[in-house]
């Protein structure tokens, strides 16, 4: 069976990103979540806004995307959280194996 891997981008407020990341790893929806401070500029409710956020870079398998799409909004305070899924075209074999070993087996 060929396993497909993905990277999921999700931004969150600095005071909640660590909790969200820890929950995703604890629940085995993600093998790893990198947390990077970013400054976002976006249009919301007709106005341009600029905020300090944390970009969560979530590593997992494609089969975990639907569970993530359900769980992330439950954990998130944003009305419309950014959840963007990117396919991994190629990766270092041992690292990809580690991702598979680290997430839920069901």
Cα separation, 5 vs 17, in Å, equals 22
* pLDDT for position 106: 57
Cα separation, 52 vs 41, in Å, equals 9
Q: Which residue has the higher pLDDT, 3 or 24?
A: 24
Using one digit for the tens of pLDDT, what is the confidence trace for 41-94? 999 999 999 999 999 999 999 999 999 999 999 999 999 999 999 999 999 999
Q: Is it the case that residue 19 has pLDDT exceeding 60?
A: yes
Structural domain total, the chain? 1
Tokens encoding 104: 């839920």
Taking the mean position of all CA atoms in its chain, how far away is CA 103?
A: 13
Domain at 27, CATH number: 3.30.70.120
Q: Domain range for residue 89?
A: 5-102
Q: Is it the case that residue 39 has pLDDT exceeding 70?
A: yes
């Amino acid at each position: 069976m060929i396993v497909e891997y993905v990277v999921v981008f999700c931004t969150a407020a600095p005071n909640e990103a660590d909790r969200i990341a820890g929950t995703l790893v604890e629940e085995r929806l993600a093998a790893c979540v990198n947390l990077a401070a970013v400054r976002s500029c976006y249009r919301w409710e007709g106005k341009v806004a600029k905020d300090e956020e944390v970009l969560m870079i979530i590593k997992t398998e494609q089969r975990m995307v639907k569970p993530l799409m359900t769980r992330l909004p439950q954990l998130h305070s944003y009305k419309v959280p950014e959840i963007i899924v990117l396919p991994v075209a190629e990766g270092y074999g041992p690292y990809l194996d580690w991702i598979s070993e680290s997430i839920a087996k069901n």
